[in-house]
Structure 1
Amino acid sequence: MRKYAFRKQTRGDFESRLKRLDPAFADGTGLRSKTDATQRRPGLSMLAGFGWFYVVILIANRKDQIRDSLSQGTLPADYHDMIIIGLGAVLAVSGVMLLLHLFRVLTGSGNKRSNSKGLLTGATAAFALIYTPPSVVDTAIGMLDSNSRSILMAAHSTVTSSVPGVDWNNVTLVSSLGK
């Protein structure tokens, strides 16, 4: 039989064993330490930021068109002001959230900061897409070489042939309405 040295376990022994068994629990307070469990998804955040701010900018720029559309619809007039107020609240909350994400990028760290960077990048891309003058877009398309143009034309013909029943000559992008 082996002889073991028995001694009283100290607090240090207990904490070292606890660190080996469950490092998240061993922060000294007896509670689990707060770790950043956020997954890093900058690409998804960029797409979400782009979509979010594209809609927000369109709402902000088309307030009169939204009001005209509501007046032409069948929705009772009592609800028109509530819808406009709701859209205004969406714009206000979006502005606050934009500032919070900017604050997180400036002061934060880890995956939350990375996701906020992606969201702000997407928002910037939406802003740039909406406010880019058409002459710049036409110039950029004119600068493409013949291979790039042929790829764009092939993609265009594939889309037009794969969606039956749509008259593509009458299709207008939402962002080009009212300009």
Structure 2
Amino acid sequence: MRRVVRKQDRNDFNARIQRLDPSFAATPSKARDARKPWELGTSASRKSSHPVMMSGLGFGLALAALFAANNPETVQALLVRSGWPVQFIHYATNGLGLLILGLIVFYLMNVVRLVKPRTTGRLDSAGLIVGAVAAIAVSNLDQAHLQSGLQYAGFESPADVLTFAQARTSDIANIDWTSVVPVSSSPK
């Protein structure tokens, strides 16, 4: 049996494109030929899928970091009251310091991401940065304004907010921190 090889032409190519990607084949050929390969990704991802959520996330992260940096004694007292073993408090505070440094780097990278013109997802970075700026503005407010806002939300102090958050997360993950023991794989 003899096999006949036929040279494929532009019509065969267009038929294959139509079969593999109908949305791409539906665009006019002039628009397909004029665009650059990276433009499809950037134009499709310029819209933020969750701008309010990103602003809230940026606000929450920055406010928690500012609270932990400005009130280390309160954070230690909250850790002890929540059941954190006293012998591990210095590990927790050192870890919080490292997390704050990592958060600073995270926000700086999002500023760079926002400034670069070709980066995708720039509005998500803008939401994070706007939330962080709002958290800095809230942390610099007068104490009377902050106290009235906390009372309006139903809390007496900022520590009550963290206690409420800790109680809500303990429902999700029940961990008895008093039973945590460090282990090592090296022989003693």
TM-score range for the pair, normalised by the shorter chain length: 0.5 to 0.7
Partner of 2:91: 82
| 2:114 is equivalent to residue 115 of structure 1 | no
- Deviation for aligned residue 1:8: 2.4
- Deviation for aligned residue 1:85: 1.7
Distance of aligned partners of 1:130 and 1:8 in 2 relative to their CA distance in 1, 3 Å threshold: same
- Deviation for aligned residue 1:117: 0.4
| 2:174 is equivalent to residue 174 of structure 1 | no
- Deviation for aligned residue 1:18: 4.3
Q: What residue identity is the alignment partner of 1:173? A: S
- Deviation for aligned residue 1:89: 1.9
Which residues in structure 2 correspond to 1:9-158 (within 5 Å)? 9-10=8-9, 13=11, 15-20=13-18, 21-22=20-21, 23=24, 35=41, 40-70=49-79, 75-109=84-118, 112-134=121-143, 137=145
- Deviation for aligned residue 1:59: 0.9
Distance of aligned partners of 1:74 and 1:47 in 2 relative to their CA distance in 1, 3 Å threshold: closer
Structure 2 portions without partners, runs of 5+ = 1-5, 26-37, 161-188
Q: What residue identity is the alignment partner of 1:117? A: A
| Equivalent residues, number | 134
Distance of aligned partners of 1:15 and 1:173 in 2 relative to their CA distance in 1, 3 Å threshold: farther
- C-alpha distance in structure 1 between counterparts of 2:84 and 2:128, whole Å: 35
Contact 2:111 2:125 in 1 (8 A): yes
- C-alpha distance in structure 2 between counterparts of 1:76 and 1:134, whole Å: 32
- C-alpha distance in structure 2 between counterparts of 1:112 and 1:69, whole Å: 37
Q: State the superposition RMSD in angstroms.
A: 3.8
Bigger share in helix: 2
